[in-house]
Structure 1
Amino acid sequence: MMKSFLLCLVLLVMLGLPDSGKLGADDFASLRVSENGRFLVQEDGSGFFPVADTAWAIGWQLKRDQVERYLQRRKDQNFNTIALIAFPGVEGNVVIPNVYGDHAFKISGSGAWDPLQPITTPGKNPEDSAQYDYWDHLEYIIDTAESKGMAAILLPAWGVCVAGDWANGKATRDLIFDETSGYQYSHWIGERFKNKKNIIWMIGGDRSAVYGEKDYRKVFGAMAEGIADGVNGINQPNQEADYSTTLMSYHPRKWQPNSSEWFHNEPWLDFNSMQDQPSDQITATELDYKLLPAKPTWLFEGGYEFRRNIYKDWQIRFQSYQTVFAGGFGVTYGSMNIYHFNSAVAASDESITLDKSRKWEASLDEPGAMDMQHLFRLMTSMSNEQFLDRIPDQSLIEGSTGGMEGSEGIRSNRLQATRGSKGDYAMVYNANGRNFSVRMDRLSAPEMNAFWFNPRTGKWQVEDQDHTDRQPFKKSIPSGPAAPVQEFDPPGAEGDGNDWVLLLN
């Protein structure tokens, strides 16, 4: 099914016709890691390129009709995955309910959540408040995502509930899990949603697993085990769990070691996740890519659009294309105006300038979000064999590959190259439109055509003309052994925001 979908998508791109960019509800199949350990695939082995959006607070901030509008708009923009947290933390001194007034758990004597007492009610009719509980609403969100062909990355709890304070791991009021309670709650939520085939489980939640002498790895591991046992319908803590029925990763905090530092060899960790800024993202991606055994890696949380008003659409694009071309299997987008859905704690953990009067719905079409659909279409326009055969290869670049400027890498002139392992195609992302040269001897013989893809519009450009169908700006370039180096001059003048992708095939 996915192969026919990808073939149709290739034809649609070539013909310039619109495409849904998604699999329909009847086509969504459980995801797993590809045989080469680099990508996610569906049950039939066909590739899945996740373009995710951080919708952290959707579970308690949005009503049903708002959930529908949000997911439909993201589907229209070719997002195929959302990331959400199962329940909120403490806001000030108040344990908050969801938008319908329902609490996730009973409240303990100390005024915090009791994670071993989830509040559930018989039935789940949304028209009957006595039936429709907190967890029914979370299920509605997951089911609505699946109906639109979208995966749901579910964090059973935010990291503060396990590792306390973001900076030093000190205990806070939100810290409610140890190994025992972590396993028991995770077992419950795994069992609660065991039949949801579109869930990707994410342990962690913007926290380090180790803070000096404070080591929370066993608690996070117990949560992973609990989820797997709950999904599998068994209750045997501290036994060898079966993780073949779950897809799971770990969400670390930024500027710190990523998931591979602590969990790469753990049986429950199927793929690595990073949270870094552009200045560190390539290094982190390359580190994960070299590890054995091979596991997929990706940028799960990078710089958010409008963060401190320095991350705009260009920064969103170059961190996305660069990490994907460096070996990432997908990418996650984030907007400072979206993830909290106008929560009272909007951006409380960031030193930013944010228009808190701007409603989330007015921010759905921010430039960086709109640009993600072009990345999706580019990466899924190849055959399934080519999709699963892609590798990073900076040796394609003759001369300097460039780099980042600023402590967080908010300006870039970097060149990032990727190709098929057989050399049958290659792509180079150019962050600022400077001239560059490609070693054509690294590609298969005897010749290739060259195409300019505009990441800002999704169009192909030939002699200053935009085309919806793929058209080469140069044909029959010698390639293969002994082929000379070829210089390329991207359209427009060199400068910030004039990014391009060179496609050779």
Structure 2
Amino acid sequence: MHLSFIILFTAFAFLALALPAISDVPWANVTISASPDRRHLYQTKTGQPFFWIADTNWELFHKLNKTDVDIYLSDRAAKGFNVIQAVVLSKYNVTTIPNFYGHLAIDNANLTQPNLQYFEHVDWIVTHAAEYGILICFVPTWGRYVNWGWYGTTGYILFNEDTAEWLGRFLGNRYPGIPKMMGGDSNGFWANNVPQARAAWREDPESDPKSHLGPIEDTRSI
């Protein structure tokens, strides 16, 4: 992948670790950590090994109402899934298309102006999933807002070094213990608008190295 593209999404993982105490969040029962040798996952609360069995629902936050979410989570829990991977900033234009309840994710097409009503719905889903024993994994953004992605040269480019860092800190502080997926959707070899990103990111010194979890879903064929 293009270096600056990789660093942009790595920034989400690291900046999302300037955390309040994970033990205090409503989803503490489902948080996971990496083993000291970085080869295994375990449940933070119990120390039991954790095997990542995930379903993908990219539009979980954007398209579903609470009734739909409950039906979906109940079904996935019954089938043995323990992780749901969902996108915070939907592939549908987040500057103009609201969630089910009519709330845009951001105001004024500005990542530093999150719509708290939108994120209250995200809060509810993350907490409700934990009641089913399911951990939510965030894909912080669809790649189209970095380099237009599969949309060619249409839509909004929302990310630069400052807005990427701001969103990373916002998600990290609001959702401690929630894994963030780095990459996926957008082809890292396409042009992007973060050419100086390689100098922008610094790991937070207060972060817990055992919680540096960041799966990758590659867009390219193997």
TM range (shorter): 0.7 to 0.9
Shift of residue 85, structure 1, vs aligned partner: 0.6
Shift of 1:87: 2.5
Residue number in structure 2 paired with 1:177:
159
- Is 1:248–2:188 an aligned residue pair? no
Could you say what secondary structure the match of 1:97 adopts? coil
Contact kept, 8 Å, 2:95 with 2:106, in 1: the verdict is no
Q: Secondary structure, in 3 states, of the residue corresponding to 2:138?
A: strand
Q: CA deviation at 1:89?
A: 3.7
More strand by share: 1
Distance across 2 between alignment mates of 1:217 and 1:206: 19
Q: How has the CA–CA distance of structure 1 residues 209 and 136 changed in structure 2, closer, same or farther, with 3 Å as cutoff?
A: same
Q: Is the CA contact 1:28–1:146 (under 8 Å) kept in the aligned structure 2?
A: yes
Where do 1:77-88 residues align within 5 Å? 77-88=79-90
1:76 and 2:86 matched: no
**1:60-109 Cα shifts (integer Å, max 9, x gaps):** 11111111110011000101110101132445x972101011111113xx
2:159/2:194 contact within 8 Å kept: no
The residue correspondences of 1:480-495 to structure 2 (distance < 5 A) are none
- Give me the whole-angstrom Cα distance separating, in 2, the residues matched to 1:36 and 1:96: 43
Bigger fraction of residues in helix: 2
Counterparts in 2 of 1:239 and 1:53: CA distance versus 1, 3 Å: closer
Aligned residue number for residue 189 of structure 1: 171
Cα gap change, 1:238 to 1:37, in 2 (>3 Å):
closer
Question: In the alignment, what sits opposite 2:55?
Answer: 53
In the alignment, what sits opposite 1:210? 189
Residue 137 of structure 1 corresponds to which residue in structure 2? Answer: 121
Contact 1:58 1:67 in 2 (8 A): yes
CA contact (8 A) 1:90 1:174 kept: no
Aligned Cα root-mean-square deviation (Å): 2.9
C-alpha contact (below 8 Å) 2:30/2:130 kept by paired residues? no
Task: Quickly say closer, same or farther: Cα 1:104–1:29, change in 2 above 3 A.
Answer: closer
Q: What's the CA shift string for 1:299-324, capped at 9, x where partnerless?
A: xxxxxxxxxxxxxxxxxxxxxxxxxx
Give the secondary-structure state (helix, strand or coil) at the position aligned to 2:182: strand
Aligned residues of 1:164 and 1:175 also touching (Cα < 8 A) = yes
- TM-score w.r.t. the length of structure 2 is 0.74
Distance 1:240 1:56, change over 3 A: closer
**More relative contact order in 1 or in 2 (CA 8 Å, sep 6+)?**
2
- 2:142 — aligned with what? 158
Instruction: Classify 1:65/1:181 alpha carbon distance in 2 versus 1 (closer, same or farther; 3 Å).
Output: same
> Deviation of residue 190 (structure 1)?
1.6
Alignment check: 8 A CA contact 1:209 1:217 kept:
no
Q: Quick one: structure 1 residues 186 and 35, their matched pair in 2 at CA, closer, same or farther if it must change by over 3 Å? A: closer
Q: Is the 8 A contact 1:157 1:205 kept in 2?
A: no
Tell me how far 1:176 sits from its aligned partner.
0.8
Q: Once the two structures are aligned, what percentage of the paired residues are identical?
A: 26
The 1-side partners of 2:87 and 2:62 are apart by 9
Instruction: Give the corresponding residue for 1:123.
Output: none
Instruction: Identify the residue that residue 43 of structure 2 maps to in structure 1.
Output: 42
Instruction: Look up the match of 2:99.
Output: 98
Residues in 1 aligned to 2:86 and 2:52: alpha-carbon distance in whole angstroms: 15
Structure 1 residue 151: deviation in Å? Answer: 1.1
Q: Which runs of 5+ in 1 are unaligned?
A: 1-24, 108-112, 121-132, 223-236, 256-279, 281-505
Query: How far is 1:252 from its partner?
Result: 2.6
Q: 2:215, 2:186 → 1: CA distance?
A: 13
Separation in structure 1 between the aligned mates of residue 28 and residue 170 of structure 2, nearest angstrom: 28
CA separation of 1:150/1:116 partners in 2, compared to 1, >3 Å: closer, same or farther? same
- For the residues of structure 1 that align with 2:196 and 2:57, how far apart are their CA atoms? 28
Superposition deviation, residue 36 in structure 1: 4.1
Deviations 1:105-151 (CA, angstroms, capped at 9, x unpaired): 113xxxxx21111122xxxxxxxxxxxx1110011111111111111
SS of the residue 2:110 aligns to: strand
Hey, what's the Cα distance between the residues in 1 that align with 2:203 and 2:28?
A: 32
Residue 149 of structure 2 aligns to a residue in which SS?
coil
Does the Cα contact within 8 Å between 2:137 and 2:181 map onto a contact in 1? yes
Question: Do the aligned partners of residues 218 and 65 (structure 1) sit closer, same or farther apart at CA in structure 2, a change above 3 Å counting?
Answer: farther
Aligned counterparts of 1:200 and 1:151: Cα–Cα separation in 2: 9
Over residues 145-194 of structure 1, what are the superposed CA-to-partner deviations in whole Å (9 max), with x where a residue is unaligned?
11111111101111111132238xx6431321011111112211222223
In 1, distance between residues paired with 2:194 and 2:34? 26
Measure the CA separation in 1 of the matches of 2:82 and 2:195: 30
Q: Which residue is 1:382 aligned to?
A: none
| TM-score normalized with structure 1 length | 0.35
Instruction: Report how many residues are paired.
Output: 193
Q: 3-state DSSP class of the match of 1:201? A: coil
State the Cα distance separating 1:216 from its structure 2 match.
5.2
Inter-partner Cα distance in structure 1 for 2:84 and 2:54 = 5
